[in-house]
Amino acid sequence: MIPFALQVKGFQNMQKVLKTVAKNMPFPKPTLFNGPGSSLQLCEAIAQMDAQNVLIVTDAMLVKIGLLDRITAKLKELKVNYVIFDGVEPDPTYDQVERGLALLQQHHCEAILAVGGGSSIDAAKVIAARATNNKSIKKLAGMFKVFRPILPLYAIPTTAGTGSEVTLAAVVSDPVTHAKTPVMDPKVVPLVAALDGELMTGLPAHITAATGMDALTHAVEAFISANAFAETDANALAATKLIMKYLPIAVKDGKNLEARQQMALASYYAGLAFTKAGVGYVHAIAHNFGAHYHTPHGLANAIVLPHILEFSKDAATDRLAKLAEASGLKTGKESNEKLAQKFIDHIKAMKKEFGIPEGLDKLKQEDIPAIAKAALKEAHFTYAVPRYMDQKTAEQLIAQMAA
């Protein structure tokens, strides 16, 4: 057995390679329309780019509440043909992707428009990749496995959380093991995206809170990552400032368009930060809560976040202090240690204010070793965490996350 300290050296060396790639490789970014009503501008871009047959990928709930009505009316007006695939569910599975792909092929669609939360955008990314790559989803999962350019992909997020409209990730779940198997490749970044706060004013408060905490987790994990650099720092700080100011407003007063629009932008900034700097243990554990208990992604992150920050704070004091400052928590000449703690305590208070539970009621003691093992495997081979933990420490920490 290799001593843990030596293993950590290996993980850190691997992360250095990833950092060099992220810093130097040109990452595509979508052309962005930002502002209330911008989803209609995106429809115009689709028409200008000459897409004739578009597959709209979304979830049934959004169709039911009429969220797509203005978008489909605009496409009709612009004489763009479309067919709707509304079979995406939270944490999309391989078979949902395959059903969307079958519809795309049946109607000879040559472009995809995703309208929805991270689940719809991620499913659309994988449908678009499957359409042009002769590879199963299993073979597309992992890093840099999408060899051919995907179909033109347009994205309209309806939650302010995942940042999927700008990231190189698409999270789909294996239907047998329920494990989340991300496809990570710059080729899955959408061509055009629209941040339209008007589409978010009906998002229920509890989903607003959970998805907003997902965006915050992206910003925080990217900022304290050993792979952070000036560009990701700028995006992470901007996201943190906006989220701390506008998330409480959006949760309390969902109809506040300014708060919705700023949260959409914050989620985009946080996506830009973590697509290059990566996330960390919070996401690794949250993904496995999702796999075991179908816990919504944002909620899982919100439960895990303070625990991992407490664990990491001695190795990330200065960074957490900067996040505290960006959150407006610096009042005098406090030490960085004090500021770092203030930031963590502020997150705990926000969770309480939003009615987010402190622990996960479904968490079973007997599942903890497997959750810890899978989370450490994900984290150590993908993320540049500021402080490393071994299996025993992970199990102890996760046990504290039970309700």
Ligand X SMILES: NC(=O)c1ccc[n+]([C@@H]2O[C@H](COP(=O)([O-])OP(=O)(O)OC[C@H]3O[C@@H](n4cnc5c(N)ncnc54)[C@H](O)[C@@H]3O)[C@@H](O)[C@H]2O)c1
| Window contacting Fe ion (CB under 5 A); options: 53-61, 132-140, 209-217, 321-329 | 209-217
> Does 165 sit near Fe ion (CB under 5 A)?
no
> Does 112 sit near ligand X (CB under 6 A)?
no
- What dihedral angle (degrees, nearest 10) is formed by the CA atoms of 178, 391, 236, 185? -50
Residue 120 binds which of Fe ion, ligand X, none (CB < 5-8 A, kind-dependent): ligand X
- Name residues contacting ligand X, limited to 178-207 (CB under 6 A): 180, 199-200, 202-203, 207
Buried b (16+ CB within 10 A) or exposed e, 323-360: bbbbbebbeeebeeebbbbbbbebbeebbeebebeeeb
CB count in 10 Å sphere of residue 35:
15
Residue whose C-beta lies closest to Fe ion? 214
Residue 124 binds which of ligand X, Fe ion, none (CB < 5-8 A, kind-dependent): none
Residue from the set 211, 227, 262, 312 that interacts with ligand X by CB under 6 A? 211
Contact 209, 160 (CB under 8 A): no
> Does 235 sit near ligand X (CB under 6 A)?
no
Phi and psi based region of residue 26 (left: phi greater than 0; alpha: psi -120 to 50; beta: remaining): beta
- Specify the residue, 159 or 327, whose C-beta has the smaller distance to ligand X: 159
Residue from the set 185, 214, 221, 325 that interacts with Fe ion by CB under 5 A? 214
Residue from the set 170, 220, 291, 323 that interacts with ligand X by CB under 6 A? 170
Q: How many residues bind ligand X (CB under 6 A)?
A: 32
- Rounded to a whole number of angstroms, the minimum distance from the CB of residue 59 to ligand X is 5
Question: Where do the DSSP E strands lie in 106-263?
Answer: 111-116, 142-143, 153-157, 169-173, 180-184, 192-195
Residue 196 binds which of Fe ion, ligand X, none (CB < 5-8 A, kind-dependent): none
Q: What's the DSSP call for residue 280?
A: -
Residue 122 binds which of ligand X, Fe ion, none (CB < 5-8 A, kind-dependent): ligand X
Report the candidate in 314, 385, 300 with the shortest Cα–Cα distance to residue 344. 314
- Specify the residue, 365 or 381, whose C-beta has the smaller distance to ligand X: 381
**Given CA atoms 212, 185, 49, 135 in this order, what sign does their dihedral have?**
negative
- Rounded to a whole number of angstroms, the minimum distance from the CB of residue 324 to ligand X is 24
- Angstrom distance (rounded) from CA 149 to CA 278: 23
- Specify the residue, 186 or 202, whose C-beta has the smaller distance to ligand X: 202
Q: What is the separation, in whole angstroms, between the first and last Cα of the chain?
A: 34
Residue from the set 22, 128, 171, 194 that interacts with ligand X by CB under 6 A? 171
- Name residues contacting ligand X, limited to 328-367 (CB under 6 A): none
- Angstrom distance (rounded) from CA 211 to CA 162: 7
- Name residues contacting ligand X, limited to 291-330 (CB under 6 A): 297-298
Q: What's the DSSP call for residue 87?
A: B
- Rounded to a whole number of angstroms, the minimum distance from the CB of residue 345 to ligand X is 25
- Rounded to a whole number of angstroms, the minimum distance from the CB of residue 392 to ligand X is 27
> Does 164 sit near ligand X (CB under 6 A)?
yes
- Name residues contacting ligand X, limited to 21-60 (CB under 6 A): 59
> Does 169 sit near ligand X (CB under 6 A)?
yes
> Does 288 sit near ligand X (CB under 6 A)?
no
> Does 96 sit near ligand X (CB under 6 A)?
no
Residues 80, 97, 110: CA angle, nearest 5 degrees: 30
- Angstrom distance (rounded) from CA 237 to CA 224: 11
- Rounded to a whole number of angstroms, the minimum distance from the CB of residue 325 to Fe ion is 24
> Does 100 sit near ligand X (CB under 6 A)?
no
Phi and psi based region of residue 236 (left: phi greater than 0; alpha: psi -120 to 50; beta: remaining): alpha
What's the chain's length in residues?
A: 403
Residue whose C-beta lies closest to ligand X? 117
Residues 167, 44, 239: CA angle, nearest 5 degrees: 30
Residues near ligand X (CB under 6 A): 59, 61-62, 67, 90-91, 116-120, 122, 158-159, 161-164, 167, 169-171, 180, 199-200, 202-203, 207, 211, 214, 297-298
Residues near Fe ion (CB under 5 A): 214
